[in-house]
Structure 1
Amino acid sequence: MTTLVDSNRGKSSRGDWAMQSNQVISERRGPPQDPLTASIIEDLLAASERLSAAGRHREGAAPAEEVLALPGVTPVQQARAREMLALHRLRLGDYQASVQNGLLALEYLTSSGDLLRQSKVHCTLALAYTDTGLTEQALGHAVPALETARACGSQLAEFWALTRASTVHGAMGDTVRGVDLGRQALALSRTLDDTEARFIAVNNLGDSFLEAARAQRAAECDASLALREGLVLFREAVAMAHAQGHNFFETIALTNLVSILIELNEHDEAREKAHRCKDLARANGFRNLEVNVDAQLAEVVRAEGNLEEATAMMDAQLADPSIDEDPALQIRLHQALYEMHKQRRRFEQALVHCEKLGTLSLQRITQTAGLQSQLLINTLEVEQARHEVERSQLAAEVQRIRAEELDDQAHTDPLTHLPNRRALDRELPRLMDRARDLSQPLCAAMIDFDNFKRVNDAYGHAIGDQVLTTMAQMLRAVTRETDLAVRVGGEEFLLVFGDTDLDQAAQACERLLASVRDYAWNGVAAGLTCTVSAGLADLRPAERVSHWLERADSALYAAKNRGRDQVVTAEN
Structure 2
Amino acid sequence: MNSNQAVSERRKPSQDPMTQTTIEVLLDASERLSAAGRHLDGAVAAEKALATPGIIPVQQAHAREMLALHRLRLGDYQASVQNGLLALEYSTASGDLLQQSKVHCTLALAYTDTGLTEQALSHAVPALEAARACGSQLAEFWALTRASTVHGAMGDSVRGVELGRQALALSRTLGDTEARFVAVNNLADSCLEAARAQRENDCDPSQALQEGLALTREAVAMAHARGHSFFETIALTNLVSILIELNEHDEAREKARRCKDLARVNGFRTLEVNVDAQLAEVVRAEGNLDEATAMMDAQLADPSIDEDPQLQIRLHQALYEMHKQRGRFAEALHHFEKLHGLTLKRTTQTAGLQSQLLINTLEVEQARHEAERSQLETEVQRVRAEELDDQAHTDPLTRLPNRRALDRELPLLMDRARDLSQPLCAAMIDFDNFKLVNDEYGHAIGDLVLSTMAEMLRAVTRESDLAVRVGGEEFLLVFGNTELDQAVLACDRLLASVRDYTWGVVAVGLTCTVSVGLAALQPAERVSHWLERADVALYGAKHRGRDQIVTADA
TM-score tier, shorter chain, comes to: over 0.9
Residue of structure 1 in register with 2:206 after alignment:
224
Whichever residue aligns with residue 7 of structure 2, its letter is M
- Contact preservation (8 Å) 1:142, 1:168: yes
Aligned twin of 1:570: 552
Q: Distance in 1 between matches of 2:51 and 2:240?
A: 47
1:86 counterpart (68, 71, 80)? 68
Secondary structure of the 2:550 match is: strand
- Corresponding residue SS for 1:456: helix
2:4 is aligned to 16
- Matched residue, 1:364: 346
Shift of 1:418: 0.5
Q: Is the 8 A contact 2:445 2:506 kept in 1?
A: yes
Alignment partner, residue 535 of structure 1: 517
Shift of 1:249: 0.9
* 1:416 is the counterpart of 2:387: no
CA distance in 1: counterparts of 2:433 and 2:519, whole angstroms: 23
Aligned to 1:236: 218
For 1:7-406, list aligned pairs within 5 A.
Answer: 14-21=2-9, 23-25=10-12, 33=16, 35-406=17-388
**What CA distance in whole angstroms lies between the structure 1 residues aligned with 2:433 and 2:370?**
60
Structure 1 residue 504 displacement after superposition: 1.5
Amino acid at match of 1:278: K
Matching residue of 2:507 = 525
Local SS of the residue matching 1:480: coil
Deviates more, 1:60-69 or 1:235-244: 60-69
Secondary structure of the 2:470 match is: strand
Distance (whole Å) between structure 1 residues aligned to residue 376 and residue 415 of structure 2: 37
Measure how far apart 1:467 and its partner are: 0.8
Cα distance in 2 for partners of 1:130, 1:96 equals 13
Q: Deviations over 1:299-319 (max 9, x none)?
A: 222222222222222222212
* Cα shift at 1:26: 6.0
**1: CA distance, partners of 2:458 / 2:126:** 50
1-side partners of 2:444 and 2:21: how far apart? Answer: 72
Cα displacement (A) at 1:381: 1.3
Give the drift of 1:348. 1.6
CA deviations on 1:519-545 (whole Å, 9 max, x unpaired) are 111111111111111111111111111
> 2:539: which partner in 1?
557
Asked if the contact 1:19–1:156 (Cα under 8 Å) also holds between the matched residues in 2, the reply is: no
Contact 1:446 1:553 (C-alpha < 8 Å) held by counterparts: yes
The offset of 1:400, in angstroms, is 0.4
Structure 1 residue 72: deviation in Å? 3.1
Q: Which moved further from structure 2: 260-269 or 437-446?
A: 260-269
Paired AA for residue 118 in structure 1:
Q
Q: Aligned letter for 1:17?
A: Q
SS at match of 1:495: strand
The residue aligned with 1:7 is none
What's the secondary structure of 1:493's corresponding residue?
strand
Q: Is the 8 A contact 2:11 2:59 kept in 1?
A: no
Q: Helix, strand or coil: the match of 2:225?
A: helix
TM superposition shift of 1:244 = 1.0
Deviation at 1:285, TM superposition (A): 2.2
Aligned-pair distance for 1:40? 3.1
* Alpha carbons 1:537, 1:552 under 8 Å: kept: yes
State the distance in 1 between where 2:510 and 2:267 align.
104
Q: Distance in 1 between matches of 2:287 and 2:488?
A: 112
Taking the aligned partners of 1:175 and 1:513, their CA distance within structure 2 comes to 84
Judge conservation of contact 1:25–1:114 (CA < 8 Å) in 2.
no
Q: Which moved more, 1:508-517 or 1:69-78?
A: 69-78
Q: Report the Cα distance in structure 2 between the residues aligned to 1:40 and 1:412, rounded to whole angstroms.
A: 53
Deviation of 1:38 (Å): 3.5
Q: Which amino acid is 2:241 matched to?
A: S
Q: Which amino acid aligns with 2:5?
A: W
SS for the counterpart of 2:479 is strand
Mapped to 2, the partners of 1:82 and 1:453 lie a distance apart of 73
After TM superposition, the structure 1 stretch with the greater mean CA deviation from structure 2, 138-147 or 553-562, is: 138-147
Q: 1:261 to 1:282 in 2, by over 3 A?
A: same
What is the rounded CA distance, in whole Å, between the counterparts of 1:439 and 1:36 in structure 2? 46
Note the C-alpha offset of 1:65. Answer: 2.2
Report the CA distance between 1:36 and its aligned residue: 4.0
Against the structure 1 CA distance between its residues 145 and 77, is the aligned structure 2 distance closer, same or farther, given a 3 Å change threshold? same
Q: Letter of the 1:399 partner, please give it.
A: Q
Greater shift, 519-528 or 64-73, is seen at 64-73
- Identity rate of aligned residues, in percent? 82
Work out whether residues 26 and 112 of structure 1, in 8 Å CA contact, stay in contact via their aligned partners in 2: no
**CA contact under 8 A between 2:6 and 2:31: conserved in structure 1?**
no
Contact 2:13 2:20 in 1 (8 A): no
Q: Is contact 2:11–2:58 with CA below 8 Å preserved after alignment?
A: no
The whole-number CA distance in structure 2 between the counterparts of 1:53 and 1:303 is 38
Q: Deviations over 1:462-507 (max 9, x none)?
A: 1111111111111111111111111110011111111111222111
Which secondary structure state, in structure 1, belongs to the residue aligned with residue 439 of structure 2?
helix
Gaps of 5+ in 1: 4-13
Question: Deviation of residue 18 (structure 1)?
Answer: 4.1
Amino acid at match of 1:504: Q
Distance 2:422 2:52 in 1: 55
Q: TM-score, normalised by structure 1?
A: 0.93
For 2:429, what is the secondary structure of its paired residue? strand
One-letter amino acid of the counterpart of residue 12, structure 2: I
Equivalent residues, number? 554
Aligned residues of 1:25 and 1:112 also touching (Cα < 8 A): no
User: RMSD across aligned C-alpha pairs, in angstroms?
Assistant: 1.7
The answer to whether the 8 Å contact 2:425/2:480 transfers is yes
